[in-house]
Amino acid sequence: MEISGSVALVTGGASGIGAAVARQLAEAGATVVVADVQDEKGEALAEEIGGAFAHVDVTDTNQITAAVDQAAALGELRVLVNSAGIGPAARTVGRDGTYESAHDLELYKRVIAINLIGTFDMTRIAGTAMSRFEPLASGERGAIVNMASVAAFDGQIGQAAYSSSKGGIVGMTLPVARDLAAIGVRVNTVAPGLIDTPIYGEGEKAEEFKTRLGESVLFPRRLGTPDELASMVLECLRNSYMNGAVVRVDGGIRMPPK
């Protein structure tokens, strides 16, 4: 699918993988709407790439709908990338045997609400908007890429909530792709491994930690870069025969229990 001339909406687009995707989409000729809760970063990036910013908490359907309407008003909304997410860690059962020390249920619900339900909510609303545009010469009306994680398959200790949410994204990829085939919209999922994003912090100690972490990767023995993830996202968007697929981008890593 041709990206140039289209409008693209990227959730979680103000930083990390989402920002790398937004930049590469802009370089490919798309008008990008950066959707995030980080207003200052999002507005700065939108200005940098000649796009627009939308404040979006993906747990709020009204904000999702407003962002989709904003994107559709700029032109033909053909691209959606769902990259918004959080990943707090907590064990299912605490060490002291009290009910109070068990995994906080509200935290679990929040991770599911942002990572999984937010992805689906944005997909159903943006997909509806895409269905209103005329199909391209290829018959496509658009393409959607969701961001999962290798934790969907190799969840570690403390990742019950995160792995549940990302496993849900993997699980809905094919059925949603089947649903949206009727309107000519493809759906794929990218599952990153260990990616060098601000989550690891900055400074000498952070760099030492990332180096040690990278040694667990099969090859190359380093963390991946946001640009490497973004390039796979763009391939999923461009390649019209990519549909209903989940692609690991992880250097061959299989995560240990901890």
Report the C-alpha gap between 248 and 4 in whole angstroms: 26
Active site residue 162: yes
Report the C-alpha gap between 72 and 246 in whole angstroms: 27
Instruction: Give me the sign of the Cα torsion angle 90, 233, 79, 19.
Output: positive
Q: Among the options 108, 162, 200, 241, which is catalytic? A: 162
Q: Please tell me the number of Cα atoms within 13 Å of 64 on its side-chain side.
A: 22
Q: Which residues pair with 191 in a beta bridge?
A: 248
Q: Which residue has the tokens 């904003």?
A: 70
Strand stretches in 93-169, DSSP E: 142-147
Residue 27: CB partners within 8 Å, gap ≥ 6?
none
Active site residues: 162
